[in-house]
Amino acid sequence: MATIRFRVHGKGENSSIYVRLSMGRGSEFIRKTGFIIDAKDWSKKKSFPIPKNEELKNLKADLVEMSSRLEVLLNTATKNGHIIDGAWLERQIDLINNKAAIENLDDIVNYTQHIIETAANRPNGKGGIGLSERRVKGYITFKGVLKRYIKEKRKGKQLLVRDVDLKLADDFKKWLFEKGYSVNYAGKNIDNLKAVCNDAVRNGIEGSPSLSSIKSFSESKEPEAIIYLSEEEQMQIASLSFDNEALANAQKWLLLGCQLGQRGEDLLNINESNIKQMNDLRVIELKQKKTGKIVAIPLLPFAEEIIQDGFPYKIALQNFNEYIKKICCKAGIDALTKGRKRPKSKDTKKNKRSLPSIQGMYPKHELIGSHVCRRSFATNYYQKIPTPVLMNITGHGTERMFLKYIGKTAYDNAYQMAEYFKRIPSPTNKESKLTLVKSS
């Protein structure tokens, strides 16, 4: 377990305060914090200044804040698989002290990495602090694409922030299309290129005068292939038995997910503590990570059957995506289906997400991912459960978004409404009880 402690080297009036980051097993890094203190005012036992006056109290508060921020940055870096070493620690201290070193940050790949490492302290679109996990992953993917471009198109020549002008952006765009990326994905990478450069310029790094002239672009999306598991296919999956514990566990998650309608990142965090009793009804209560909404999902009979011998244990989303493809393959869910998938990379070190997805006809099980749970729930229960109730569970903001998600249109709702009206007795079929009164 990582620990962060402060120490003082020396015995003079202007002794430097150091921070010691220990990662266990003899792995520790020590760097200057930028603060100094009279050594006699330092408590070795508590590893903080002795707060005997206002100045020392403020110094202690600064060190406490530094420790807290380092913990946040360390958790983020560890989660994203970054290398933690002395250089990393020094960069974070510079960031906290608002004097992040800019040597080598004029290199756009390095600056993108700088954004990733400092994500926890960056303003987000909701007015708070800290970029979302999805946004950080977007930058990681962009960095992978950028490194491929530099290797293939620039023969490994360093790309500086000031090099990103209209000509470079056009060359990058052409390369993206040559590699088979869609118009919208190419446009997203151009937007990321601009975002990284603009952030660098705001932090004093030289940029190109034509940076602001680089235009965003996109096109109307082709209707997305609606990949879901029908109730019959779910029964095929439920009938399977696995000797492999990991596959048996993922099988339960897949079937349960189709009954709860949640995104993968929310689904795989559910456990027994999420079950609440509401009078005679048992529900799953959770806070959706993306929307921040608290939802209560009734445990339907099939869901109760799935968890009658206990909840599946938690697994990583990446493993879940891998396992359920194998499960659906064994269940014979292999009808040729239109969709997009990324090709397998021969280079195991290459970030697969940086490869373009290719549209085509594939065996259905190859297109299955965690998204199938939410979409199967929404599709199978459409017209059986009122649409607003489904939307509240799946977290869709508008009916239009929901209908598009399951491949329906506003006309489907019109037909549904017409069916309801057919069941309502028409007033013209009832004997009129009105009495006409003649005027005198």
pLDDT along the chain (440 residues), means of 10: 87 89 83 91 92 90 91 80 80 74 77 89 81 88 93 91 94 92 90 94 87 85 77 96 95 96 94 90 91 90 93 93 96 91 61 64 94 94 89 88 81 58 56 47
33 plus 157 within the same structural domain: no
What is the number of alpha carbons within 13 Å of residue 434 lying toward its C-beta? Answer: 7
Nearest one of 214, 208, 209 to 162, comparing CA atoms: 208
Domains contained in the chain, number: 3
Across the strands, what pairs with 4?
Answer: 21
**255 domain-assigned:** yes
Across the strands, what pairs with 32?
Answer: 18
Whole-number Å distance between alpha carbons of 132 and 122: 10
Burial of 199 (0-12, 13-18, 19+ CB in 10 A): middle
Residue 45's CB is within 10 A of a number of other CB atoms, namely 6
**221 domain-assigned:** no
320 plus 415 within the same structural domain: yes
3-state secondary structure of 129: strand
Strand ranges of the sheet holding 3-9, from the earlier edge strand across to the other edge: 3-9, 15-24, 27-37
Mean pLDDT of the chain: 85
The residues, any chain, with a CB within 8 Å of residue 302's CB and separated by 6 or more, are 255, 259
Q: Give the structural domain span for 416.
A: 231-343+354-422
Buried b / exposed e across 337-347, counting CB within 10 Å, b at 16+?
Answer: bebeeeeeeee
Find the CATH number of the domain harbouring 257: 1.10.443.10
390 plus 250 within the same structural domain: yes
The residue out of 160, 181, 213 marking a domain boundary is 213
**The pLDDT value given to residue 290:** 83
Q: How many residues in total does the chain contain?
A: 440
The residues, any chain, with a CB within 8 Å of residue 16's CB and separated by 6 or more, are 8, 9, 10, 32, 33, 35, 36
**The pLDDT value given to residue 422:** 63
243 plus 366 within the same structural domain: yes
**132 domain-assigned:** yes
**115 domain-assigned:** no
249 plus 391 within the same structural domain: yes
**62 domain-assigned:** yes
**225 domain-assigned:** no
Helix residue ranges per DSSP H, 331-396: 371-381, 387-394
The residue out of 101, 134, 152 marking a domain boundary is 101
**The pLDDT value given to residue 297:** 93
The residues, any chain, with a CB within 8 Å of residue 160's CB and separated by 6 or more, are 106, 107, 108
Can you count the helices (H) and strands (E) in the chain? 15, 10
240 plus 299 within the same structural domain: yes
209 plus 244 within the same structural domain: no
Taken in order 326, 328, 332, 334, the sign of the CA dihedral is negative
Whole-number Å distance between alpha carbons of 372 and 320: 12
Gyration radius from the chain CA atoms = 29
405 plus 304 within the same structural domain: yes
Nearest one of 81, 214, 72 to 131, comparing CA atoms: 72
Angstrom distances, CA of residue 168 to CA of 44, 149, 162, 204, 216: 55, 11, 10, 21, 14
Q: How far apart are the first and last CA of the chain?
A: 98
Question: Whole-model pTM?
Answer: 0.56
3-state secondary structure of 281: strand
3-state secondary structure of 252: helix
The DSSP-derived string for 9-39 is ESSSTTEEEEEEEEEETTEEEEEEEEEEE-G
**The pLDDT value given to residue 380:** 93
161 plus 189 within the same structural domain: yes
**88 domain-assigned:** yes
Please, are residues 17 and 63 in contact by the beta-carbon 8 Å criterion?
yes
Please, are residues 354 and 145 in contact by the beta-carbon 8 Å criterion?
yes
Residue 394's CB is within 10 A of a number of other CB atoms, namely 24
Residue 188's CB is within 10 A of a number of other CB atoms, namely 19
243 plus 315 within the same structural domain: yes
Helix 54-79 × helix 86-96 angle, to 10°: 130
Looking up tokens 């011998």 gives 309
Whole-number Å distance between alpha carbons of 354 and 339: 18
**263 domain-assigned:** yes
**The pLDDT value given to residue 102:** 45
- Return the ∠ at Cα 300 (arms to 294 and 302), rounded to 5°: 130
155 plus 257 within the same structural domain: no
186 plus 304 within the same structural domain: no
**The pLDDT value given to residue 358:** 76
The residue out of 71, 101, 131 marking a domain boundary is 101
Residue 257's CB is within 10 A of a number of other CB atoms, namely 29
